[in-house]
Homo-oligomer: A and B are copies of this chain.
Amino acid sequence: MYLRNVWYVAATSHDLGEALLTRTILELPVLLYRKENGDPVAIGNLCPHRFAPLHMGKRNGDSVQCGYHGMVFGESGKCVLNPHHGGVISPAMKVPAYPVIEKYGMIWIWTGEADRADPALIPDYSCYTAPGFRTLGGIMDVAAGMELITDNLLDLTHADFLHEGTLSSEAITLSKLETIEKGSAIWGNRWCPDGVAPPVWGQLMDSQMGVAPDTRIDHWLYMRWDAPAHLLLDVGICPVGKTREQGIWVYTGHHLTPVSPTRTLYFWTVVRDHAPQDPSVDAFWQGSIDYAFAVQDKPLIEAQQAAIGSADIDALHPVAIPADAAGGRARRALARLRAQGTKGECPVPGASPLAELLRQSAGSAAPVQPVV
């Protein structure tokens, strides 16, 4: 059911430290921590002796000691110390060890076949740590499957209805969706010319663009999806007919890590190149996106999940509209990957390095070129 030969985000770099952090990922109990040299470790969280959760134990150098009977497990998952009389360590005294990589300010985990855990399969999110950019973010524990959240992100026409006062825009609703599929990546792009700025964007027009908030703008939303559940939105506004450089824009990143079929850890980011050093702009974006995602999106998506229960939404025969095209493509792509089984399910990221794309698009004419 789950794709396993793929990278998921297990934690942010910021959230992972010396302390023992436990996560349920694809229903697996996982323990995460940093070694003394800072490298991240991910191993199974249940002691093989009596299944006590290791996060209830404690650090022992770069290893972890079970809090029940004291067996110590290292980063390889193998028992490295049995403190009991005799001290025998049998080969069965081990927990799983998961390949884990720290990149782009995120801790990426691989729960599939370890020898296929190729770091090159991590999609490009170099914008998170690119010079001149500022990255903020958050994490939400959502009582809904990753599919419903993916639908939400691949159909941004919900903005005008669900994001009143934040991201709402009639121009989005009236725009046409362009979908592109390349390898295992899918783009759902909207070019929304000559409209009114969404409220959040309107609040930045004076200070960041030097124009009045009621100035007519072009609005773009270019969403890239990489299987199984990594999304990057290039979104911004510029005065009608102007270029990206004369406007303001952000990337928002979205990484969906299944806890179970109906629960998801949702890591989000907002990345900008305007006023990257200004704490008041930090607070503005952190608060605006947190409100839009946690207060506006989350309750509705959870209500959807509660309404459909454990059913697959497609089995309930939903009515389709053209705006569903990108989400539908993503579902079909996942179905194809699942059908391949573990022989072929490693999806190849769809995009070239972001920084390169951004350089290419500099100075592009309207419609603003996507940079993802």
The residues of A with any CB-CB pair to B shorter than 8 Å are 29, 46, 48-53, 56-57, 65-70, 82-86, 88, 90, 92-93, 148, 151, 155, 157-158, 160-162, 173-177, 299-300, 303-304, 307-308, 313, 316, 318-323
Contacts and interface: CB of A to CB of B under 8 A. Distances in A.
B303 A49 contact: no
Nearest to A323: B84
Nearest to A175: B85
B319 A93 contact: yes
Given A161-B57, A319-B90, A319-B93, A51 B85 contact: no
Which 9 interchain pairs have the tightest Cβ spacing?
A: A70-B161, A48-B319, A92-B319, A51-B307, A53-B303, A49-B319, A93-B319, A68-B158, A69-B158
Nearest to A297: B68
Given A50-B304, A69-B321, 15 more contacts: A49-B318, A49-B319, A50-B151, A51-B307, A51-B308, A53-B304, A69-B161, A69-B323, A70-B157, A82-B321, A84-B173, A85-B173, A85-B175, A85-B176, A85-B177
A85 B210 CA distance: 32
Given A85-B175, A155-B69, A50 B161 contact: no
A188 to B, nearest CB: 14
A53 B307 contact: yes
A155 B52 CA distance: 14
B56 A300 contact: yes
A27 to B, nearest CB: 11
B318 A48 contact: yes
